[in-house]
C-alpha cells in the first residue's frame, strides 16, 4: 500500500495524470496508512499525516513588483583620496622625523616618510580587527587594539612595497609603463624649480 501511495504521489507531481476513481482509492489508502502506523506501536497519539488539506485553491491577491531600475553603465573608478595634513600634524611629523634621523643617523626625506606613514594609515583603516574594535570600544580601549595591529600593518606595507618594487625592478616593460606616466610631470616640476 505504501508503494502505491508513493508511486501515485510521484505520478501526480511528474505528469498531468487525472483519474477520479484512482484518486479516491489513493485518499482511502493514505488515510488507512496513517491509522495503521507500524512505526510507533502503542506510542500514544500520532497525528503525522492524519491531517490533510485537500481540494483547495490558491487565489492571487496582490502583486508586488520592484520599481524599474535605471541602468547606468558608466561607473566611476575609485581614486586616491586627496589627503591634506594640517600644519600641526606636518610640524609634529617633521619633529618626529628629525628626531629619528638624529637617533638612527639617517636622512629620511619628510615628504617620502609622510607618504609611507599615510600608506600605513590606509592599511590600518582597512583592518577588520580595528573596524570591529572601533565599533565596540571606547577610544582609550581602541588604542590597545590599534597599537597591537601596528606591527601587522608595517609588515603588510613592507610586503606590498617590496613585492611591487621587485616586480618593477624585474620587468623593464612594466617599469616604463607605470613610471613613465610621471616623466613629463617630474621633468616640468624639476625644470621650473631651478
CA distance 40 to 46: 8
Helix boundaries (H) for 36-171: 87-104, 110-125, 128-136, 139-170
**Which pLDDT score is estimated for 98?**
84
Block residue for cell numbers 624585474: 170
The tens digit of pLDDT for each residue in 73-95 reads: 776 655 555 556 678 877 887 88
- Domain residues for 4? 1-54
Which of 10, 36, 54 terminates a domain? The answer is 54
3 state DSSP class of 26: helix
Residue predicted with more confidence, 180 or 51:
180
> Residue 116 above 60 pLDDT?
yes
Measured at the alpha carbon of residue 20, what is the angle toward residues 19 and 21, in degrees to the nearest 5?
95
Q: Give me 31's grid cell.
A: 488515510
Question: How many domains would you assign to the chain?
Answer: 2
CA distance 114 to 160: 17
Residue 43 within a domain: yes
Q: Are residues 21 and 92 in the same domain?
A: no
The number of beta carbons lying within 10 Å of the beta carbon of residue 85 is: 13
Contact 180, 187 (CB under 8 A): no
CA distance 167 to 180: 15
Residue predicted with more confidence, 73 or 147:
147
Q: Are residues 102 and 179 in the same domain?
A: yes
3 state DSSP class of 74: coil
Residues in the chain: 194
> Residue 51 above 70 pLDDT?
no
**Which pLDDT score is estimated for 172?**
84
> Residue 40 above 70 pLDDT?
no
**Which pLDDT score is estimated for 39?**
63
Q: Are residues 48 and 92 in the same domain?
A: no
Q: Are residues 94 and 185 in the same domain?
A: yes
Picking from 59-63, 74-78, 152-156, which range would have the lowest pLDDT averaged per residue?
Answer: 74-78
Which of 13, 33, 54 terminates a domain? The answer is 54
Confidence of residue 46 (pLDDT cuts 50, 70, 90): low
Q: Are residues 42 and 118 in the same domain?
A: no
CA distance 131 to 145: 10
Residue 67 within a domain: no
Residue 22 within a domain: yes
Instruction: Find the radius of gyration of the CA atoms of the chain.
Output: 37
Q: Are residues 123 and 189 in the same domain?
A: yes
Contact 168, 179 (CB under 8 A): yes
pTM of the model: 0.48
**Which pLDDT score is estimated for 77?**
56
Amino acid at each position: 500500500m505504501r508503494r502505491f501511495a508513493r508511486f501515485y504521489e510521484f505520478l501526480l507531481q511528474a505528469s498531468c495524470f487525472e483519474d477520479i476513481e484512482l484518486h479516491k482509492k489513493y485518499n482511502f489508502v493514505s488515510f488507512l496508512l496513517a491509522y495503521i502506523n507500524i512505526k510507533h506501536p502503542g506510542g500514544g497519539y500520532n497525528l503525522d499525516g492524519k491531517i490533510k488539506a485537500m481540494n483547495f485553491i490558491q487565489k492571487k491577491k496582490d502583486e508586488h513588483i520592484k520599481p524599474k531600475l535605471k541602468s547606468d553603465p558608466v561607473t566611476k573608478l575609485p581614486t586616491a583620496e586627496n589627503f591634506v595634513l594640517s600644519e600641526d600634524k606636518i610640524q609634529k611629523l617633521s619633529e618626529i622625523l628629525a628626531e629619528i634621523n638624529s637617533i638612527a643617523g639617517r636622512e629620511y626625506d619628510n615628504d617620502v616618510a609622510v607618504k609611507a606613514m599615510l600608506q600605513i594609515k590606509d592599511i590600518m583603516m582597512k583592518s577588520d580587527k580595528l573596524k570591529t574594535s572601533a565599533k565596540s570600544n571606547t577610544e582609550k580601549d581602541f588604542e590597545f587594539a590599534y597599537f597591537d595591529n601596528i606591527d601587522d600593518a608595517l609588515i603588510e606595507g613592507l610586503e606590498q612595497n617590496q613585492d611591487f618594487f621587485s616586480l618593477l625592478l624585474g620587468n623593464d616593460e612594466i617599469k616604463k609603463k607605470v613610471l613613465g606616466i610621471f616623466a613629463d610631470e617630474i621633468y616640468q616640476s624639476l625644470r621650473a624649480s631651478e
